[in-house]
């Protein structure tokens, strides 16, 4: 039927004509329209002509206040004439084509959709139905549908679904009518109920009749049909129907056909539509199996490889990658059990929680016979047999795979505390004072009268003794050596039955040897059969025994060993330092090592015979055996010229001269008193030599386009080409007798058996690629993030790829410029002992290793994540160490505290106490630092005692090593000689617990203590046996609250893995209420704004500090953290968590740079300076300052926060909100539908800065 064409009436303005005609149409509504059909046709035709030819006419009809749309819809509803109906549909189509968004909204709000459905049902009853009418109706519905949220429901209730389906079936060859019908079906299918209903009516099979092999005809129709099919297949029922019908093979064949024939890539959308159908089918297990069975992996892999050179085909490559990764068979980790390789039996098991669950599993695993009275129960990692991959049900074309990042940020945060009673501090210590009186001994400064103390300047040190130091034994530490152990496994201390360790004492006593008697003489080591090659040109000559004192291998290993056995014992020189702990060797120290102090300190060197004999430390050969084929094989401290040959002496930088707080010899002594569950007998070189921060800048690494995709494809190749995979285990802590698996020198050698080390297993995948598995925290089955391990046996210039395959967080700063840290022993020997950022092709993405529901807090279908990086090595026969962040061990802390005490001046009051013993038998130090009074007169003593207290703590989470570096900066500043440091000591008394979790640090944990629990979630009710450091630290604070001396500031130093910069979390009633919907009176919101003063000062003076990232909202999930408990129970208004980035900064002076130890230590010093400024502000009662703070928080009540909680990775971090690409806490296990993305990272450095305060407070 032809559209009417009316002549234009002359002499009347167009807007007047439209209004006049609409008025006429309005008067005709009802019976008049039925009687005068011809007039109705003419009027509607004229209106259509005006709107079609004159833009003003359409605007007049749709203008605000106009009743034009109501008149048109009323006429449409009342007319029974087909031509009049068509005219009105033409009018609506013209109106809604221009300015669709608002106009369609008006149409929907006036009930237009329902009227169209009524006409559709009515017209479908005519036989045959009017083709033109059906065409216009469906064209209009296709425009309106996407804008009407109730469209699918209205269609189903009105019966329009069947009408459209029947029309489609009857017109499969009529492409003109088929296209709008398919467009409407596409919109219908977005409603899940409709999709199931349409599937039952055979629409899935109908779509497969329409989709066809490559053709240049009807491509638009084919694209719409594929879109509709893709929407239908989101329904699991329809996906199963498609699988049962054998359509997976059809889709793959169609994709191959279009891929090969579409050589000019003009029909990428059709190819993408086919992939979307496959993607939705493979959301169910049945679909994934069918995909694998029809060789889908190989088909998509090959086609994607061919698409890679064409950048515009990235959407195809990304979607293909996503499908292949989803269908990659889920594997379990290559471990006997996912619980830690190290076992520690708890004195008692908690009644509930993850640790109780761990112990309640069916028995299995192996016992640690030294520490366990009964075996730890086995918690195995199994693939969940769930039918569907729940994570991928909500995949969209955005293809982003960040679960927590895809949340609607506009939703309210249900984690915010809304109980006003809990928001107001209780100021109730909760324990009777009689119980707390025992802690008075830790506060001697509050009662010290200094009578009898000589205040003359010549006095060298304070008479206040160091409790911490006094507990250390000044007698020799004797370690029995008669056990049959290789040098690599010589324990630091004797076995448990020979070790008498009492609380407060660090003396190791052997029953066989009195501690006061000199050690028994050792048999000299015969090394005459071991050759030392200085270089490739030097001839190997027979060696005579060295005259230097040696570790007696014969006494360590039982009977005298043949020469080849000795060579095996020394097979890994310089991989790490093995502690023999023989004090008799100290007598020969000068013979085996000399220290030159010639020239500047930077050039100072330490002469060490090879192997290193440092008070019982023997090292092992670089590079393993036979891998290098020449070069230097350091196997003896005797050169070819005999013991006096200087060629056999290693010159290494004397870091004791370069670093004020570092002394290698002192470090070794400290290690001897450190107790670990695995009973480590080695020292890593970086901890021995020390770290001197590099002077050059280390910028955030720019991400190379396509790097993640290329890594994923290499992973997929493992399934496509299994014969190329080596799959050889080269290191395995689950083989305790021999974790380093020897080979022919073709593989790298790994080691992590030293303090804070973490690497459980290394598997060689290809010649230069290794999968690495991290150890979970002891008494836990997860928390894999911290790593610290050693590599040797490398080839120079070869690019190696390392994949850490069992990470758990759903995102990481490794996707945003962060690099791993590497320490080269050869570089250290050359005078550059330092950790440097390294690694290329770094990315972090979801892998095909499945997490058991036990390890995922009951959630099924979760996967681990891979952190991959590549690197090459510059030196032959090197030994290199890799770490997640700059290591800072417990023994390093003890060494630093000892050196700090030596630096004390008479003006400094310093006391070191042992707060308690940990579960593992290590001491938790407590420091008191302030200024000595100028005299013992009453005025000075009174001022001394009444100084406000500052309470600082750090390192409750072992993997957050940056917190210790910040604490080191704080301690060095406090012990410094600058006027600012002196003023600060005069102003405050500092009580500092520098390491709240020594056991976790020593044993290489990431988050927990030996109890398997996050200690920063135990502050509400700590157990004195399981959480001694938290229990006693809280008791100190409770004691102070009882004597009315609560600290002015409490700050717990932390590290942050998914945000940049340094920032603080605090506690505020007002800001918490503003972020929630609870009603509160003005009296409820009354609070001193002083809690903002310290972070405000820091933002002004510390270049790494970001005020915009700070938050002062109290959340329910954080109610048992130190910050909230100290605020709520102790009544400390300025109670903070200070978070330091593990990555770098995106603002200020350090913008674009990765953070280093220099910047972290600077942050610790700046914190001290800020406290000094805070003293001045609080002292003068600066009201203007408080007004400034008030203005800072105006407007925050309008901000909304989204921060769900989680079981598995219950972190102190907010959700990471930078854009992410991978097909893939800190809250990564929130159970949200996962969205997949194959594109590359599009980082927006300003994105996080735009967050509200409490949006960033997802983690503490």
- CA torsion sign for 468, 471, 477, 479 is negative
Calculate mean pLDDT across residues 621-627. Answer: 34
- Please tell me the pTM assigned to this model: 0.76
- d(CA 1060, CA 127) in angstroms, rounded, equals 68
pLDDT of amino acid 606: 54
Q: What is the pLDDT of residues 851-893, one digit of tens each?
A: 877 766 666 778 899 999 999 999 998 999 999 999 999 999 9
pLDDT of amino acid 995: 98
Give the residue, 1244 or 1049, on which the prediction is more confident. Answer: 1049
DSSP 196-243: HHHHHTTHHHHHHHH--SS-SSSHHHHHHHHHHHHHHTTSHHHHHHHH
pLDDT of amino acid 423: 67
pLDDT of amino acid 385: 46
Q: What is the pLDDT of residues 1202-1235, one digit of tens each?
A: 333 323 333 333 333 333 333 332 333 333 333 3
pLDDT exceeds cutoff 60 at 839: yes
pLDDT of amino acid 519: 35
Q: Which two tokens stand for residue 1105?
A: 């500090």
Q: What is the pLDDT of residues 506-550, one digit of tens each?
A: 332 333 333 333 333 322 323 232 232 333 333 333 333 333 333
Q: Which two tokens stand for residue 46?
A: 């004229």
Calculate mean pLDDT across residues 450-478. Answer: 47
Range from 713-722, 1023-1032, 1191-1200 carrying the lowest mean pLDDT: 1191-1200
Selection from 1109, 692, 680, 1116 nearest residue 920 by Cα: 680
pLDDT exceeds cutoff 80 at 602: no
pLDDT exceeds cutoff 90 at 1145: yes
Residues 6+ apart with CB under 8 A from 888: 955, 961, 964, 965, 968, 1001
- CA torsion sign for 1111, 1113, 1114, 1115 is negative
Residues 6+ apart with CB under 8 A from 31: none
Selection from 1060, 961, 1064 nearest residue 1006 by Cα: 961
Selection from 725, 734, 739 nearest residue 335 by Cα: 734
**E-strand stretches of 1057-1133:** 1062-1065
Pairing relation of β-strands 863-871 and 800-807?
A: antiparallel
pLDDT of amino acid 426: 66
Cα-atom radius of gyration of the chain, to the nearest Å? 37
Cα distances from 380 to residues 332, 855, 857, 1228, in angstroms, run 9, 9, 14, 22
Calculate mean pLDDT across residues 116-129. Answer: 87
- Options 445, 575, 769, 1139, the catalytic residue: 1139
pLDDT of amino acid 868: 97
Pairing relation of β-strands 1049-1056 and 949-954?
A: parallel
Q: What is the pLDDT of residues 1009-1028, one digit of tens each?
A: 999 999 999 999 999 999 99
pLDDT of amino acid 437: 93
What confidence category does residue 99 fall into, taking pLDDT thresholds of 50, 70 and 90?
low
Residue 94 is among the residues annotated as catalytic for this protein:
no
pLDDT of amino acid 462: 40
Q: What is the pLDDT of residues 394-406, one digit of tens each?
A: 333 333 333 333 3
Calculate mean pLDDT across residues 1123-1144. Answer: 95
Selection from 19, 86, 83 nearest residue 54 by Cα: 19
Q: Which two tokens stand for residue 875?
A: 């030196």
pLDDT exceeds cutoff 70 at 1190: no
CB 886 within 8 A of CB 835: yes
Q: What is the pLDDT of residues 156-214, one digit of tens each?
A: 999 888 899 999 998 888 889 999 999 999 999 999 999 999 999 999 999 999 988 88
pLDDT of amino acid 1216: 37
Run of H or E including 78 = helix 68-78
Calculate mean pLDDT across residues 604-620. Answer: 41
| Bond preceding residue 128 cis, omega within 30 of 0 | yes
Give the residue, 1218 or 88, on which the prediction is more confident. Answer: 88
């Amino acid at each position: 039927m032809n559209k009417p064409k009316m002549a234009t009436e002359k002499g009347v303005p167009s807007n007047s004509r439209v209004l006049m005609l609409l008025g006429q149409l309005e008067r005709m509504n009802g019976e008049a329209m039925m009687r005068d059909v011809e007039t109705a046709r003419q009027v509607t035709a004229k209106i259509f002509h005006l709107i079609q030819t004159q833009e003003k006419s359409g605007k007049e009809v749709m203008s605000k206040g106009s009743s034009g749309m109501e008149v048109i819809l009323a006429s449409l509803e009342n007319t029974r004439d087909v031509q009049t109906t068509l005219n009105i549909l033409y009018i609506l189509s013209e109106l809604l084509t221009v300015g669709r968004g608002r106009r369609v909204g008006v149409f929907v709000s006036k009930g237009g959709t329902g009227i169209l459905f009524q006409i559709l049902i009515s017209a479908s009853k005519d036989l045959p139905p009017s083709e033109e009418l059906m065409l216009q109706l469906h064209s209009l519905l296709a425009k309106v549908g996407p804008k009407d949220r109730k469209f699918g429901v209205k269609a189903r209730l009105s019966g329009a679904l069947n009408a459209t389906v029947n029309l489609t079936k009857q017109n499969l060859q009529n492409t003109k009518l088929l296209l709008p019908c398919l467009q409407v079906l596409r919109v219908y299918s977005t409603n899940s109920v409709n999709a199931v209903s349409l599937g039952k009516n055979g629409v899935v099979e109908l779509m497969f009749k329409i989709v066809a092999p490559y053709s240049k005809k009807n491509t638009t129709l084919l694209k719409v049909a594929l879109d509709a099919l893709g929407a239908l297949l989101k329904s699991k029922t329809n996906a199963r129907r498609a699988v049962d019908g054998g359509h997976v093979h059809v889709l793959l064949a169609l994709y191959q056909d279009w891929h090969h024939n579409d050589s000019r890539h003009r029909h990428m959308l059709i190819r993408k539509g086919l992939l979307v159908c496959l993607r939705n089918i493979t959301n169910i297990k049945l679909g994934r199996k069918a995909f694998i069975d029809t060789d889908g992996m190989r088909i998509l892999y090959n086609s994607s490889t061919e698409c890679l050179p064409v950048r515009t085909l990235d959407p195809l490559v990304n979607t293909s990658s996503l499908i292949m990764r989803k269908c990659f068979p889920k594997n379990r980790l290559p471990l006997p059990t996912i619980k830690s390789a190290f076992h520690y039996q708890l004195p008692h098991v908690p009644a509930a929680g993850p640790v109780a669950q761990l112990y309640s599993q069916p028995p299995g695993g192996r016992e640690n016979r030294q520490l366990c009275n009964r075996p730890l129960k086995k918690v195995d990692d199994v693939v969940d047999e769930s039918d569907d991959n729940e994570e991928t049900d909500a995949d969209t074309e955005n293809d982003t795979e960040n679960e927590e990042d895809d949340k609607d940020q506009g939703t309210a945060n249900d984690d915010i505390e809304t109980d006003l009673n809990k928001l107001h501090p209780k100021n109730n210590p909760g324990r009777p004072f009689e119980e707390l009186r025992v802690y008075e001994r830790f506060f001697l400064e509050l009662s010290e009268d200094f009578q009898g103390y000589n205040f003359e300047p010549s006095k060298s040190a304070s008479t206040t003794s160091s409790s911490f130091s006094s507990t250390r034994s000044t007698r020799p530490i004797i370690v029995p050596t008669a056990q049959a152990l290789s040098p690599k496994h010589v324990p630091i201390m004797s076995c448990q039955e020979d070790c008498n360790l009492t609380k407060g004492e660090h003396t190791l006593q052997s029953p066989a040897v009195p501690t006061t008697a000199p050690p028994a003489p050792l048999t000299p080591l015969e090394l005459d059969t071991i050759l030392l090659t200085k270089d490739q040109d030097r001839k190997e000559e027979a060696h005579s025994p060295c005259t230097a004192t040696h570790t007696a291998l014969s006494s360590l290993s039982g009977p005298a060993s043949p020469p080849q056995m000795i060579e095996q014992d020394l097979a890994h020189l310089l991989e790490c330092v093995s502690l023999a702990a023989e004090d008799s060797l100290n007598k020969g120290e000068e013979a085996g090592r000399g220290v030159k102090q010639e020239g500047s300190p930077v050039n100072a060197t330490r002469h060490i015979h090879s192997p290193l004999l440092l008070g019982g430390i023997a090292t092992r050969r670089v590079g393993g055996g036979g891998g290098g084929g020449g070069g230097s094989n350091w196997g003896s401290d005797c050169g070819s010229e005999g013991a006096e040959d200087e060629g056999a002496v290693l010159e290494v930088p004397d870091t004791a001269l370069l670093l004020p707080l570092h002394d290698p010899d002192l470090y070794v002594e400290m290690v001897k008193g450190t107790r670990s569950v695995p009973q480590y007998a080695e020292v890593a070189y970086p901890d021995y030599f020390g770290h001197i921060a590099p002077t050059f800048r280390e910028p955030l690494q720019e991400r190379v386009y396509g790097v993640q995709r290329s890594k994923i494809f290499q992973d997929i190749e493992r399934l496509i080409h299994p014969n190329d995979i080596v799959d050889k285990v080269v290191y395995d802590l689950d083989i305790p007798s021999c974790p380093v698996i020897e080979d022919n020198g073709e593989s790298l050698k790994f080691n992590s058996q030293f303090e804070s080390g973490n690497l459980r297993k290394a598997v060689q995948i290809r010649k230069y690629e290794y999968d690495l598995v991290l150890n979970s925290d002891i008494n836990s089955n997860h928390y894999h993030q911290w790593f610290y391990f050693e590599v040797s046996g490398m080839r120079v210039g070869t690019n190696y790829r390392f994949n850490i395959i069992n990470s758990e967080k759903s995102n990481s700063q490794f996707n945003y410029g962060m690099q791993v840290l590497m320490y080269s022993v050869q570089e250290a020997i050359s005078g550059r002992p330092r950790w440097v950022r390294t690694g290329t092709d770094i990315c972090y993405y979801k892998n095909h290793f499945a997490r058991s529901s036990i390890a995922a807090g009951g959630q099924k279908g979760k996967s681990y994540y891979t952190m991959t990086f590549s690197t090459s090595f510059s030196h032959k026969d090197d030994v290199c160490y890799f770490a997640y962040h700059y290591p800072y061990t417990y023994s390093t802390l003890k060494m630093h505290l000892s050196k700090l005490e030596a630096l004390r001046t008479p003006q400094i009051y310093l006391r070191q106490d042992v707060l308690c013993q940990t579960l593992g038998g290590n001491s938790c130090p407590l420091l008191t630092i302030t200024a000595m009074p100028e005299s013992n007169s009453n005025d000075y003593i009174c001022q001394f005692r009444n100084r406000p207290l500052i309470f600082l703590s750090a390192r409750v989470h072992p993997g957050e090593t940056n917190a210790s570096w910040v604490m080191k900066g704080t301690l060095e500043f406090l012990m410094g000689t600058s006027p600012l440091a002196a003023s600060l000591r005069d102003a405050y008394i500092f009580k500092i617990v520098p390491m709240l979790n020594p056991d976790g640090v020593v044993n290489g944990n990431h988050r927990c203590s030996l109890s398997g629990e996050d200690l920063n979630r135990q502050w509400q009710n700590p157990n004195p046996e399981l959480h001694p450091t938290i229990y006693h630290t809280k008791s100190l604070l409770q004691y102070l609250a009882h004597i009315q001396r609560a600290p002015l500031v409490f700050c717990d130093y932390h590290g942050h893995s998914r945000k940049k910069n340094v920032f603080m979390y605090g506690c505020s009633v007002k800001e918490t209420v503003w972020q929630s919907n609870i009603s509160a009176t003005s009296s409820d919101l009354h609070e001193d704004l002083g809690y903002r003063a310290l972070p405000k000062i820091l933002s002004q003076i510390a270049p790494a500090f970001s005020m915009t990232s700070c938050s002062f909202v109290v959340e329910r999930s954080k109610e048992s953290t130190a910050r909230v408990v100290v605020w709520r129970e102790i009544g400390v208004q300025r109670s903070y968590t200070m978070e330091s980035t593990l990555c770098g900064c995106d603002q200020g002076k350090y913008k674009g740079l990765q953070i280093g130890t220099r910047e972290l230590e600077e942050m610790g010093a700046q914190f001290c300076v800020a406290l000094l400024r805070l003293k001045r502000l609080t002292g003068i009662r600066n009201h203007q300052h408080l007004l400034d703070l008030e203005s800072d928080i105006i407007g925050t009540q309008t901000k909304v926060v989204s921060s769900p909680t989680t079981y598995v990775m219950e972190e102190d971090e907010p959700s990471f909100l930078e854009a992410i690409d991978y097909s893939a806490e800190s809250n990564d296990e929130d159970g949200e539908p996962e969205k997949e993305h194959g594109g590359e990272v599009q980082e927006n450095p300003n994105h996080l800065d735009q967050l509200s305060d409490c949006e960033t407070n997802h983690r503490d």
